Amino acid sequence: MSFDLNNLLAGLIFGLIGIAGWKYGRATSKPKKMILGVALILYPYLVENNFALWGIGLALTSALCFWREE
């Protein structure tokens, strides 16, 4: 993980969204939301490219918001 401003900012933003998603999934017993929350928390440690970092984060966040559970 590099420590430039884009990576730190993306890690902070998507980490906070991931924590909220994980807590929501845990409170409502929705395992897909919990998994997406954990993925949002952990993926910034693995990705260093700024475009990929923001793209994956936006994709996971939109999946967290719009994925319907049955």
| Distance between CA atoms of residues 21 and 55, nearest Å | 18
Which has the closest alpha carbon to 7: 51, 63, 40, 61? 51
Counting the structural domains of the chain, the total is 1
Q: What is the pLDDT of residue 70?
A: 61
Q: What is the pLDDT of residue 67?
A: 85
Longest dimension (CA), the chain: 40
Global pTM reads 0.89
| Distance between CA atoms of residues 54 and 7, nearest Å | 9
Question: Residue 18 belongs to what domain range?
Answer: 5-66
Q: What is the pLDDT of residue 1?
A: 62
Q: What is the pLDDT of residue 2?
A: 67
Residue whose entry in the numeric block shows the structure tokens 């994925």: 67
Q: What is the pLDDT of residue 6?
A: 86
Q: What share of the chain is helix, strand, coil (3-state, %, to 5)?
A: 80, 0, 20
Provide block-wise average pLDDT over 10 residues at a time, the chain (70 residues): 82 96 94 95 92 95 86
